[in-house]
Amino acid sequence: MFQSEHSAGDPPLSPEFEALQRALAGRYSLVRELGRGGMGVVFLAREVALDRLVAIKLLPPLLASESAYRERFVREAQTAARLAHPHIVPIHAVEATGPLIWFAMEYVPGVSLGERVRTSGPLSRSEAIRVVQETAWALAHAHARGVIHRDVKPDNILL
């Protein structure tokens, strides 16, 4: 059996949540879903051995059944893992567990730039300058190493 931090009053668990929790049992305990995109579902999890929060990105099972998507997903994790920078989220592990493929990364609490603007309106001039400078710094670091992000948008910038 697996243990998660889900309780009876919480919304129902997604099939991906339940399948991933079974695959990760003993290593990670999933807490909740953080978000979904075209190339994955991201969950908040507790890494059991180190007692720390991490984010786990799961390639959706439909895509994971195709080798081209699996290879692209692994490449994404490997590429990001080589980019040590204060404004790039570190990758801890990438793994295939049966039909599931996922990677674990540092959990960054907070909200995306997109969410912040949707809920609170435009940033102040000084905040906007800081966000643009930090984002440009991270992108320049990646570009200097031959990496192109290809999906820079407010929802992919964490504050």
Using one digit for the tens of pLDDT, what is the confidence trace for 108-122? 999 999 999 999 999
What share of the chain has pLDDT > 70, as a percent?
92
Q: Which pLDDT belongs to residue 9?
A: 54
Q: Which amino acid is at 118?
A: R
Does residue 90 share a domain with residue 34? yes
Q: Confirm whether pTM is higher than 0.75.
A: yes
* pLDDT bracket for residue 1 (50, 70, 90): very low
Rg (CA), the chain: 17
Structure tokens at 136: 């440009």
Shared domain for 3 and 56, answered yes or no, is yes
Its domain, for residue 117, covers 110-159
Answer yes or no: do 80 and 143 share one domain: no
Q: Closest Cα to residue 24, out of 49, 36, 118?
A: 49
pLDDT in tens, 90-141: 999 999 888 899 999 999 999 999 999 999 999 999 999 999 999 999 999 9
Kindly state the DSSP code that residue 61 receives in the 8-state scheme.
H
pLDDT at position 11 is 56
Pair 91, 149 in one domain: no
**H or E segment and range at residue 140:** helix 125-144
Tell me how far apart the alpha carbons of residues 93 and 56 are, in angstroms, rounded to a whole number.
Answer: 9
Residues marked active site are found at: 151
The DSSP bridge partners found for residue 114 are none
Residues 20 and 60 in one domain: yes
Q: What angle do CA 125, 129, 115 make, to 5 degrees?
A: 80
pLDDT at 12 over 60: no
